[in-house]
Chain A
Amino acid sequence: MKHTQAKLIFAGVISAAAIAVALDHNRQQLPIAEDLLASQQAVIIIDEGEAMPAENNDECSKPVASSRSAAPCSL
């Protein structure tokens, strides 16, 4: 192996290592995403004698698709 070949190989290896170190240096752990629905609990005030809202109305007990989930990744 000639001197210039050795130089080229070595330069390539050092450069590849430098790129790997640069990419590794950019790795930072991201926070874990919490469930949006669980974090937003609705408070329902019920007067004495009133039934729970969902018990009376079949329509309300059906799951309602939010406009967001219709196109979950829209702008």
Chain B
Amino acid sequence: MNNSNEHATYWSLNLLDLLQQMAEKNSNAVLEVLQGIDRLESERRYPDAGLLFADNQWRAFYHCHKDNLVHPDEHGHFHLFTDIGDQQWAHVAGLSIDANGQPLQWFMVNRWVTDGPWLGHELFLDKLNAVTADASNETLLGQWLASMLQLYNGSLPALLKDRDKALALKSKDKSLHDKGLKDKEQNEAMEDRDIYTLATLEINLQKMLEQNLLNKPVITQQQNQSNKKVAPRSVE
């Protein structure tokens, strides 16, 4: 098995284990973050200061909006930020969650939505690859977020590229669509309140886990038919 298969298998098993640990408590990722909360209020962040995870290199919070701007079936979403030094946190991705606490999609938003520094896709790869999920140090939710990041560490950089391309395409100066945005045009696009979501990636956990864990082998037809008799079947 090559490295990327081992990586996928490891993190898939890790995620399944976390799901079962949460299920034993009748919980899931969102219910973990809402522990002890009497009432869920829209627009409020949970936890307010953000949850630190992956060796304190990442931060996330969950919230719901009054209007479902991101996905029609969404209950709310996580926002994930990474530490880029100098006490700055750059937004990486949003993770939409449905009414049963299950992930629906990854999404990328425009800069005005989250504010903060804006980094190109190529700088995120090292950050993504370094995500850890140490069970002795992290909460279940932190480990779950880390596992999701690792499981999609191939797709998220591509999604970030799509984000940048989408931003370029939305620039009002169409001559820059292929050449890439210049600073001024880029800033204008990033502050354009008509542009909210820039790219999305649908999540199908069942399909992904099957692909990673089952590694369906190719069954080839034998040219010579066996002469053995068929084994006896039960009468049913």
Contacts and interface: CB of A to CB of B under 8 A. Distances in A.
Contacts, number: 114
Interface of A: 2-3, 5, 8, 12, 15-16, 19-20, 22-23, 25-36, 39, 68, 70-75
Interface residues of B, number: 54
A13 to B, nearest CB: 10
A32 B31 CA distance: 12
Interface of B: 16, 19-20, 22-23, 26-28, 30-31, 34, 39-44, 50, 59, 61, 63-66, 75-76, 79, 81, 89, 91, 94, 97, 99-102, 109, 112-116, 205-206, 209-210, 213-214, 216-217, 219, 222, 226, 231
A16 B50 contact: no
Nearest to A12: B214
A27 B27 CA distance: 8
A75 B101 contact: no
B100 A16 contact: no
Contacts of B101: 26-30
